Structure 1
Amino acid sequence: MEKVLHLISGGDVGGAKTHVLTLVKELQKNLVVKIICFMEGPFAQEAREMGIDIMVLPQSKRYDLKVVDTLTGIIKDEGFTIIHSHGARANFITRFIKKKLSIPCVTTIHSDFMLDFKGNLYKHIIYTNLNIFALKKFDYFIAVSQSFKDMLVSRGFPDDRIFVVYNGMDFQEDINYKSRDEFLNERGLAHLKDKKLIGILARLHPVKGHEVFVKAAADVMIDYKDIHFLITGNGGELPSLDSQIKQLGIDKNVHFVGFVDNPYDFLNAIDINVLTSYSESFPYVLLEGARLEKPTIASAVGGIPMLIDDGVNGYLFKAGEDKELSKKLRMMIQDEDKSRSMGKALYIKASENFSLKNLAMDHINIYNKMLNNKKVRSTYEDNR
């Protein structure tokens, strides 16, 4: 039986956290799987609550290499046959483990690594280049959309070592979330309980395109002055967005609700789910919204068009085009019956095509291919 070690920073939130934890939980049904991360926090705690085998190896700083020897020893002692890495920090550590061990290594490309540190010049120059340095040494790559595979190939990564696996989730598992009234009450927005609410659930990062959401909100409010817009998250782009909202004179209708730990609390509270990213892989927030049959509008980037059929189970718009977004928002606001039917259709497509079971089986097949290729190479080298 394969023994797979997943490496991740441990500071992850949102889609990457959901992906790794749900994937590993499902993989445990068929493989021996362990996660090692490099910081304590919600990620590690949630993994423990899910019954996942997880270990925390703290680093004194982001690229502290003292953990490499410890990890090498764990891999040898516990007999791991594959390393599966997630994110820049784990990729960097894996690059040095490969110097010590001949073990197949794969990394999942959850985002466009050239944009991960956009908005912070220092981090972009240092961390992006260190990540590229690490990625060049990996044996295999898992892209979470075909567009991400195309991106990797265009940047010189070998086509035959890149697998495409779209995200998936367990649509049968029970989910818990607060009522709309309870969520709005605790966020100081009880007065909005009878209003139509349009929301965006995304980290406050330039790549997420929140300014497009705000501009579209201002345009929609010309005709619909009683609609309200909710934005999640803390820090990041919040000051500049707040300034933009005040300049547009829509601050009474656009509300920052802060960090949201359980995405379903927020998604249950809103009427329309919007995503305005300039770059995406295959975002979990759309699958989570589909789980609740939420009418959805998203930018047509990454793998999103694989889930949303424009005008059938949601609406798509060209990234950055706030006028097109406001037009699609008006269409959803005006025809509530069609919006509800779109939400139901989105649930059907998501549950039939993007299940957690499919996600796990795709990974098991990839692991088997990696190990078989290693055996073939070893046999070839032995016979030379």
Structure 2
Amino acid sequence: MKILHVISGGETGGSRKHVITLLEQFDPSEVTLAVFQEGALSEEARAAGIGTVLFAQKSRYDLSVLSRLSAFIKKERFDIMHTHGPRANLFGIYIKKKTGICWVTTVHSDPALDFVKGGLKGTIFTKISLYAVRQMDHYFAVSERFKQNLVSLGIRPEKVTTVYNGIHFTEEPAKAAAIPVPEQAFVIAMVARLHPIKGHEIVFEALRRLDVKPHLLLIGDGPIEDELREKVKDIRDCVHFLGFRKDVASLYAASDVALLASYSESFPLALLEAANERIPLISTDVGGVGELIAEGETGWIIPPGDAEALAEAIRQAMKADVKQMGEALYEHAASNFSLDQLHKATKDVYTTLASR
């Protein structure tokens, strides 16, 4: 059985980590990764021993890559194509028609929101993206809630398998990184692309409502960085843009809580990584978050877009025994969200599909 995973290659967030950790669990002869650009993802994949092939584009609109990728699939006789992200999904429409390959996907975000703030072009791409999502042979949903989201788009329930994200949990937390904050400061780590769907502006508004302000680490890059930097000038002393970092575990270890403020997610891998570092979570009620966080015991769950609810959760966190909460979260996450379960469930679906 041979599986080709297809992703744009420019990802620096959760989908990058998901693909790398998943493919690492398979025998190298079973999986190959195809990317359209070099970047952190392809570098990490090759370093992990994952066969990685570049189908370079002159621009993201260069469609000549489709015939090359289709020819590669036929030559190597792949049984299944597994796409990740909107660009790979859009290209999958052509590749499926050209090769007839069995096509599956893991939906890492709400396809209706992938092109938010994209203007007319974004509206067009959203329609095409939603069309692509409906053409696939099978779907991996990383939470029960996300499965229902796919069903609401017209996908038959039997074509969707819920497979929780997983990571390798370590016996000891990472060594804390040096961070640009006062020694006794309360530190919140937010690992997220700088993208409208991630809710950074709501976080800024919540900080403005606090009399005693924590220090916020923004870990990640993205298309609205300049816009966010402009909007945070009045509280810039407590907001730190750290950009894309490879030492996320160490940054979590240096923090008191982890924050997710997204309007939509499937199952945030970043929260599992925070759990591994024994820090509690503050998260919007998205995706499978409710299956990870026990309210008031291992973290706080708030409605998306609610700055006051977020501010109150931060107030509570600043008074709580975050070390004890973090340990409780670690025990729960390590027992239920391992890489072993992710690998087994995914391979079972591949085996069933390949035998048809």
User: Could you say which TM-score interval applies, normalised by the shorter chain?
Assistant: over 0.9
Question: Would you say the 8 A contact 2:134–2:154 is kept in 1?
Answer: no
Alignment CA distance shift 1:209-1:78 (3 Å): same
Counterpart among 258, 269, 274 of residue 284 in structure 1: 269
The answer for the alignment partner of 1:307 in structure 2 is 292
Q: Does 1:171 align with 2:153?
A: no
C-alpha separation between the residues in 2 aligned to 1:165 and 1:123? 33
Q: Does 1:357 align with 2:340?
A: yes
C-alpha separation between the residues in 1 aligned to 2:218 and 2:70? 43
Alignment CA distance shift 1:70-1:241 (3 Å): closer
Aligned length: 356
Question: Would you say the 8 A contact 1:180–1:193 is kept in 2?
Answer: no
Please give the secondary structure, in 2, of the residue aligned with 1:342.
Answer: helix
The answer for the alignment partner of 2:184 in structure 1 is 194
Please give the secondary structure, in 2, of the residue aligned with 1:192.
Answer: coil
The answer for the alignment partner of 1:378 in structure 2 is none
Question: Would you say the 8 A contact 1:271–1:295 is kept in 2?
Answer: yes
TM-score (norm 2): 0.93
- Cα drift, residue 116 of structure 1: 1.0
Question: Would you say the 8 A contact 2:195–2:222 is kept in 1?
Answer: no
Counterpart among 208, 218, 221 of residue 218 in structure 1: 208
Amino acid at match of 1:212: I
The answer for the alignment partner of 1:157 in structure 2 is 155
Q: Does 1:147 align with 2:145?
A: yes
C-alpha separation between the residues in 2 aligned to 1:241 and 1:158? 40
Amino acid at match of 2:72: I
Question: Would you say the 8 A contact 2:143–2:266 is kept in 1?
Answer: yes
Question: Would you say the 8 A contact 1:47–1:54 is kept in 2?
Answer: yes
- Cα drift, residue 315 of structure 1: 1.2
Counterpart among 77, 80, 88 of residue 78 in structure 2: 80
Alignment CA distance shift 1:84-1:233 (3 Å): closer
CA RMSD of aligned residues (A): 2.1
Listed one character per residue, the Cα deviations across residues 207-266 of structure 1 (whole Å, up to 9, x for unaligned) are 11112211222222x1x25x32222334533344344433xx433222322332332232
The answer for the alignment partner of 2:125 in structure 1 is 127
Structure 1 stretch displaced more, 84-93 or 350-359: 84-93
Please give the secondary structure, in 2, of the residue aligned with 1:231.
Answer: strand
Counterpart among 234, 243, 251 of residue 258 in structure 1: 243
The answer for the alignment partner of 2:63 in structure 1 is 65
Alignment CA distance shift 1:262-1:119 (3 Å): farther
C-alpha separation between the residues in 2 aligned to 1:95 and 1:235? 27
Counterpart among 298, 310, 324 of residue 341 in structure 1: 324
Amino acid at match of 1:236: P
Please give the secondary structure, in 2, of the residue aligned with 1:64.
Answer: coil
Listed one character per residue, the Cα deviations across residues 120-164 of structure 1 (whole Å, up to 9, x for unaligned) are 214412322232232232111112222222112112222221111
* Aligned residues with identical type, % of pairs: 39
Instruction: Give the number of the structure whose alpha-carbon radius of gyration is greater.
Output: 1
Amino acid at match of 1:362: A
Please give the secondary structure, in 2, of the residue aligned with 1:98.
Answer: helix
TM-score (norm 1): 0.87
Please give the secondary structure, in 2, of the residue aligned with 1:273.
Answer: strand
C-alpha separation between the residues in 2 aligned to 1:79 and 1:172? 37
- Cα drift, residue 366 of structure 1: 0.8
